C-alpha cells in the first residue's frame, strides 16, 4: 500500500488513478495469533538451542533436532525424508514447525496443512496431498529479458471516440515517460498495458519495468527521490535505475511447481510456460491432471538442464497427521520416494492409536509402521513450572497485558496441573475481568475467578463419570 502523498507535478495524472489513502488507514493493529511470539528456533551460531531465544523457551532437544533438519534442508540433503514431531498436546509441536519455516526464510516454500484437509467431497484425498507436495517445490528462474525500466515521469492515457457504442470514450494508447540515471524515454503503449499499470496502481514517481515482448508490467517500488520522513511505512524505496531505459535485464522469479500446474490448467492455456508465469493468477479449481504435471515436469527439467532454473525443495508440514487414513499414508510413502520430493514434517499428539481406514491396525502415533520407518522422530517434552511461567510472561508481553504480583506463579501452577495451553488461554479472559473491575493489571483473584468459570481438560475429564455421563446429574 502506498502511503506517500502524490507529488505535485505538472504532468496530468491518470484520471482514474487511486487517490492516496489517508494516514489513518495505515494505523492497523495486528492480530495476535497463538504463535505470534515465536520468531524462530532461537539458536546460537553453532546450532545450539538457547534456553530462551526467538520466543522459544526450553524444549532444547527438539529445537536442536529441528536445527539439524534446517541445516539439512538448506544444504538440500533432506528432500524425500520426513521428520515426525511427537508429544503431548500443547508441548509446542506446531510452534516448532512454524519456527522451522521462519528459519528457512521466505525463499524456501513452506506449505502447511492439517491432516483433515484431505477430506473433501470435491477433490480426491490423494490429490490434496499431491498438490501440497507440488506447492512445496520451488523453482527459481533466472531469465534475461528485454525490458523498459525507469521511474515514471509521465502517465497520460490518450482517449478516442468509442467505435462500438457511440457513448463514452476509450483509451487508444498511453504515453509513458521513463527516466533512468542515463536518460529519459517516452513510450507510446497499448491500452492493455495501461490496464496492467492501473492494476499495479502505478503512479508518477514509481520505478517500474515493462517486459518488451509480453507487455507485463512490474512495479519495483517508489523512487527514493520521493522518500518521505515517516519512520514506519510499508512502501519500499528504490534508487533510480542505472543504464538505458531500454535494456536487457536479469530477472529472478520464484514460483512453485503448484503455481505452474495451476497456471497451465487454466482453459486458455497452451501458451509457452514462461509467458504464463508472468500472469500467474489465483485460478479456480480446474483439473490438474497427472499428465499435465508430467508435462510441467518435463519443461521444468529442460530449464534446469539449460541452467535457466534452479529447483528449491521446500517443506510440507502436515499437522495432526493421525487424521490421515491408510490410503493417504501409502500415497505419502510413494510421494516421499518420488525423485522431486520436498522435506516432510509431520506432527501428532497420539500415542498408540488405530490407523484410520483400518479396523484392526493399531500402531504408534496412528501411523503405519512402514511410514514410521521412513521418519526421524523427535519427541517434545513436558514443561516445568518455571518454563511455563516464562512462556506465559512472553504471551502477556505479546498481548500487552500487565500481571500483578503472584499472578505468574499462579498461572504456572495452573499450567502444570492442566496444560501450558490452558495457562496461556486464561490470560485474555482474566484481562477482561480485570478491565471490568477497572484495573489495568491482572490480579491473582482474576485467575481464581476464571478457574471457577472455566475448566481445564483434565478437570473436565475427571468430572465425567465412568458411565460417560456427568456426575452432577443428567445431560
Ligand X SMILES: Nc1ncnc2c1ncn2[C@@H]1O[C@H](COP(=O)(O)OP(=O)(O)OP(=O)(O)O)[C@@H](O)[C@H]1O
| Residues binding ligand X (CB under 6 A) | 34-35, 38, 55-59, 87, 89-95, 349, 391, 420-421, 424
* Whether 463 contacts 471, CB under 8 Å: yes
**CB neighbours of residue 262 within 10 Å:** 23
Residue 67 or residue 94: which is nearer to Mg ion going by CB? 94
The interface region with Mg ion, picked from 91-99, 333-341, 444-452, 466-474 by CB under 5 A, is: 91-99
Q: Give dist(CA 442, CA 434) in Å, integer.
A: 6
Query: In the structure grid, which three cell numbers stand for residue 177, read together?
Result: 515517460
At its nearest, how many Å lie between Mg ion and the CB of residue 401? 23
Which residue's CB comes closest to Mg ion?
94
Please, which residue, 170 or 459, has the CB nearer to ligand X?
Answer: 459
Which of residues 156 and 349 has its CB atom nearest to ligand X in the complex?
349
Which helix H or strand E contains 286, and what residues bound it? none
Cβ atoms within 10 Å, residue 199: 10
Radius of gyration of the chain (CA): 28
Nearer to Mg ion, 114 or 372 (CB): 114
How far apart are alpha carbons 32 and 286 in whole angstroms? 35
Q: Where are the beta strands (DSSP E) in 235-365?
A: 237-238, 246-256, 309-313, 315-319, 343-348, 352-354, 362-364
Residue 34 beta carbon to ligand X: minimum distance, rounded to whole angstroms: 4
Measured from the Cβ of residue 231, the count of other Cβ atoms closer than 10 Å reads 5
Phi-psi group of 82: left, alpha or beta (phi > 0 → left; psi -120 to 50 → alpha; rest → beta) = beta
**Nearest one of 202, 197, 153, 157 to 177, comparing CA atoms:** 153
Q: Between residues 67 and 91, which has the closer beta carbon with respect to Mg ion? A: 91
Distance from chain centroid for Cα 131: 16
Contact partner, 34, from ligand X, Mg ion, none, Cβ < 5-8 Å per class: ligand X
Residue number with CB closer to ligand X (343 or 349): 349
Stretch that binds Mg ion, among 50-58, 89-97, 169-177, 452-460 (CB under 5 A): 89-97
Give which of 148, 221, 161, 222 is closest to 189, Cα–Cα: 148
Least distance (Å) between residue 319 CB and ligand X: 7
**Minimum distance of Mg ion from residue 114's CB (angstroms):** 9
* 94 interacts with Mg ion by CB under 5 A: yes
**Closer Cβ to ligand X, 35 or 182, answer by number:** 35
Rounded distance, CA 404 to CA 443, Å? 5
SS3 of residue 259 by DSSP: helix
User: Least CB distance from residue 327 to ligand X, whole Å?
Assistant: 23
Q: Which partner, ligand X, Mg ion, none, binds residue 245 by CB below 5 to 8 Å per kind?
A: none
Does residue 36 contact residue 398 with C-beta atoms inside 8 Å? yes
Q: Which does 95 bind (CB under 5 to 8 A by kind): ligand X, Mg ion, none?
A: ligand X
State the nearest-atom distance from the C-beta of 319 to Mg ion, in Å: 5
Query: Among ligand X, Mg ion, none, what does residue 56 contact (CB within 5–8 Å per kind)?
Result: ligand X
Nearer to ligand X, 35 or 125 (CB): 35
CB of 50 to ligand X, least distance (A): 11
Q: Which does 79 bind (CB under 5 to 8 A by kind): Mg ion, ligand X, none?
A: none
Residue pair 241/21 in contact by the 8 Å Cβ criterion: no
Q: Name the one range near Mg ion by CB under 5 A: 92-100, 241-249, 389-397, 446-454.
A: 92-100
**End-to-end Cα, the chain, rounded Å:** 53
Nearest distance from C-beta of residue 384 to ligand X, angstroms: 11
Instruction: Summarize as ranges the residues that interact with Mg ion (CB under 5 A).
Output: 94
Amino acid at each position: 500500500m502506498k502511503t506517500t502523498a502524490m507529488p505535485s507535478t505538472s504532468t496530468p495524472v491518470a484520471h482514474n488513478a487511486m487517490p492516496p489513502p489517508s494516514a489513518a488507514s495505515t494505523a492497523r493493529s495486528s492480530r495476535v495469533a497463538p504463535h505470534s511470539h515465536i520468531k524462530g528456533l532461537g539458536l546460537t551460531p553453532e546450532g545450539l538451542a538457547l534456553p530462551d531465544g526467538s520466543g522459544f523457551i526450553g524444549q532444547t532437544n527438539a529445537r536442536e533436532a529441528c536445527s539439524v533438519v534446517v541445516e539439512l534442508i538448506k544444504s538440500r540433503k533432506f528432500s524425500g525424508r520426513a521428520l515426525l514431531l511427537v508429544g503431548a498436546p500443547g508441548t509446542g509441536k506446531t510452534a516448532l514447525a512454524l519456527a522451522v519455516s521462519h528459519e528457512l526464510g521466505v525463499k524456501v516454500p513452506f506449505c502447511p496443512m492439517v491432516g483433515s484437509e484431505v477430506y473433501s467431497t470435491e477433490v480426491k484425498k490423494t490429490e490434496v496431498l499431491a498438490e501440497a507436495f507440488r506447492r512445496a517445490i520451488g523453482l527459481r528462474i533466472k531469465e534475461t529479458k528485454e525490458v523498459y525500466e525507469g521511474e515514471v515521469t509521465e502517465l497520460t492515457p490518450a482517449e478516442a471516440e468509442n467505435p462500438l457504442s457511440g457513448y463514452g470514450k476509450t483509451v487508444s494508447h498511453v504515453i509513458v515517460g521513463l527516466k533512468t540515471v542515463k536518460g529519459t524515454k517516452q513510450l507510446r503503449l497499448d491500452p492493455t498495458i495501461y490496464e496492467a499499470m492501473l492494476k499495479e496502481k502505478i503512479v508518477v514517481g514509481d520505478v517500474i519495468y515493462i517486459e518488451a515482448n509480453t507487455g507485463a508490467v512490474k512495479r519495483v517500488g517508489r523512487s527514493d527521490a520521493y522518500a518521505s520522513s515517516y519512520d514506519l511505512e510499508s512502501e519500499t524505496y528504490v534508487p533510480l535505475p542505472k543504464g538505458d531505459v531500454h535494456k536487457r535485464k536479469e530477472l529472478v522469479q520464484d514460483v512453485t511447481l503448484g503455481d505452474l500446474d495451476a497456471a497451465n490448467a487454466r482453459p486458455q492455456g497452451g501458451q509457452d510456460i514462461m509467458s504464463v508465469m508472468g500472469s500467474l493468477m489465483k485460478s479456480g479449481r480446474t483439473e490438474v491432471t497427472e499428465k499435465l504435471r508430467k508435462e510441467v515436469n518435463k519443461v521444468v527439467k529442460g530449464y534446469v538442464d539449460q541452467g535457466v532454473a534452479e529447483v528449491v525443495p521446500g517443506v510440507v508440514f502436515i499437522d495432526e497427521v493421525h487424521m490421515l487414513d491408510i490410503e493417504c499414508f501409502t500415497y505419502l510413502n510413494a510421494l516421499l520416494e518420488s525423485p522431486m520430493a520436498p522435506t516432510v514434517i509431520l506432527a501428532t499428539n497420539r500415542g498408540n492409536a488405530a490407523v484410520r481406514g483400518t479396523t484392526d491396525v493399531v500402531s504408534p502415533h496412528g501411523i503405519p509402521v512402514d511410514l514410521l520407518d521412513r521418519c526421524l522422530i523427535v519427541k517434545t517434552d513436558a514443561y516445568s513450572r518455571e518454563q511455563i511461567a516464562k512462556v506465559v510472561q512472553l504471551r502477556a508481553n505479546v498481548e500487552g497485558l500487565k500481571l500483578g504480583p503472584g499472578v505468574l506463579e499462579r498461572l504456572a501452577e495452573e499450567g502444570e496441573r492442566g496444560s501450558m495451553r490452558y495457562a496461556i488461554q486464561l490470560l485474555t479472559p482474566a484481562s477482561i475481568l480485570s478491565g471490568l473491575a477497572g484495573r489495568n493489571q491482572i490480579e491473582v483473584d482474576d485467575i481464581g475467578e476464571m478457574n471457577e468459570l472455566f475448566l481445564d481438560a483434565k478437570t473436565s475429564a475427571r468430572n465425567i463419570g465412568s458411565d460417560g455421563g456427568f456426575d452432577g446429574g443428567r445431560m
